[in-house]
Structure formats: structure tokens, C-alpha cells
Amino acid sequence: MISADDLRPAAPPEVQAVMQQLRAARQGGAGRAIDPLAMQAADMASAAWFNHGEPATPEAREVTIPAGGGVRALVFAPDGGASHGSPVLLYMHGGAFIVWSPEVLAAVTRAIATKSGVVVVSIDYRRAPQHTHPSALDDTVAAYRWLREHAAAVGGDPRRVAIGGDSAGAMLAAGAVHRLRDEGGVPPEAMVLICAWLDMAMDSPSFRALGPDDPLIDDTIMRFARSCYAPDPASWAHPYVSPLLGDVSSLPPACVVAAGLDPLFDEARMFAGRMRAAGRVVALHEHAGMLHDFVLFPTIERRHRATDQIAAFLREHLAG
């Protein structure tokens, strides 16, 4: 059996420190009870921790996108909203479909907006287990379609809209692209997938090696999240739920950020490899020794390199 040591180099000290913190905060082992309501109640504390010491500009503006049943969003305009006609990135936060919010990801989305000159619209999609699939995907698609017609309302250009997210949010972004294509919608100009969860099977070599004791997304929490979001196993092989299994031959250019110590690492590599084999444009950025969703952690310096890479990609593919 392949071990984690065989697959990945040792984590740098700053990552080891974060992993120790995460393990210390976790209670119980493989058989531990998981309370989604208690997890959701901790969102504000998570937002304070992930945004500690980070710049507070540009200031977030809260809006409600009048699509579907109404979708709350935070808008980060790189110039404070003074100008109009900037490209737009629709962003879906991670959190295993259960926890977190646009506020938790504010440091990441703010950095992307500042560095790229793109208006970032980070949506508060409906979460599991209160809302199962396709609720979150419906919110994503509804918000995207609204931006395609009304991006000017947030200072954006409806002709230049990208889509992206981290972890579970990246699954929503990629799943939405598949669905928009199937339904005849205008595709986004680009995709940004950060530490993406792309296959509900969770059976890649990296997941088998790293999943059992990962401090953030171990086997227990990931399988629980899957049962909350997509309780019907028959849905797990559908491209809207497992985008890795879909047809990639017409997907837009993609920026794929992968972390070497992430159980989902191989999913990112396989997705990028399939896109390249199909002749699609893909920029794969592998960050050795990084843990899942490392871009969120304020003490991990590598997050700056990742957001620099994302910003450069967006500037290239959303240029007017």
C-alpha cells in the first residue's frame, strides 16, 4: 500500500503547526459523532480565525441576487466600486457543503479581487444537511445566469464572467459548467478550482493514503459530508456531482490549484490531465507540502503565491 510519506514530501514547519492546531481542535477518532448544527454555529469563529491580521480592503458589499429564491452574496470590487465594467468571478466557498460562508473566505476572495482587478461575487449558497443536492448547484447556476445579464449592478461586465471556488465550492463551479453546457447556457470564460473536490467516490491513491488521518478532511468528515449533500448514491457518478467523470472536451480554460498533502490532490491532477488530453487550456499549479485549502490559513505564506497565480490567470483570460 502506498503511504503518505511515499506520495508527498514533508510539510514545512508552518504547515506542520497548522496541522497540529487542527488535530488538537478535533475531538474523537474515526467513530466520532459529527453535529452539523454545532459546526455551522462555529462559522463566525472560523471567519475571525481565517481573516485574522488580513487586509480589510476592499470592503465587502453585501447584496442579494434576485435569482431563484434570492441568493445572498458579498461583492469585492478591486477599486471599491468606483468604476464599472470589470470582469467578474462568481465564487463558491468550501466547507464540505455543510459549513462556512462568504465571510470565512473573505481574505481569499479579497486577495483575488485586489490582485486581478476582477469583481469577485462570493455567494452564500444553501447548505447541507438542511438542503441537499441540487439546492447549492441551483443557487450557483441561478447566480451565474443573473450575472450574465446584470453584472453591471455589481460593477461588472456581463460579457466577461468566470466561475470558481475552493474544495466543495470548486465542485459546484465545475458542476455548474457541465450543467450550463447541457442546458444551452453561455459558458463562463474561465474556471478557478482550488483544492477541488471533484469525485464523490473518493478512491484516488492520494485519498486512500492521506484521507485516514488528514487533520481537516479525513475519511469520516468527507463521507459524512457526502451523505448530507448527496444522500442518494445513484447521484455520485453524475457529472453535476462528480465533475471529474464528465465530458471535458468543451470546458473553458481552467486554473487548477492543487496541494501536495491534500487527499484530493490526485483528483486535481486527473482533472487537469483529462483537460490537456482533450486539447483544452489548463494551468495546473501544484504546491508541494501544502495541506487542503492552504489558501485560507493566514500563517501559511504559500497562499500568496497561489492567489498570485490565480490573479495572473484571470487577467490573461478575462482581458477585455
Residues noted as catalytic: 167, 262, 292
The answer to whether 74 and 102 have CB atoms below 8 angstroms apart is yes
User: Cα(177)–Cα(195) distance, rounded to whole angstroms?
Assistant: 17
Closest CA to 133 of 165, 176, 182, 93: 176
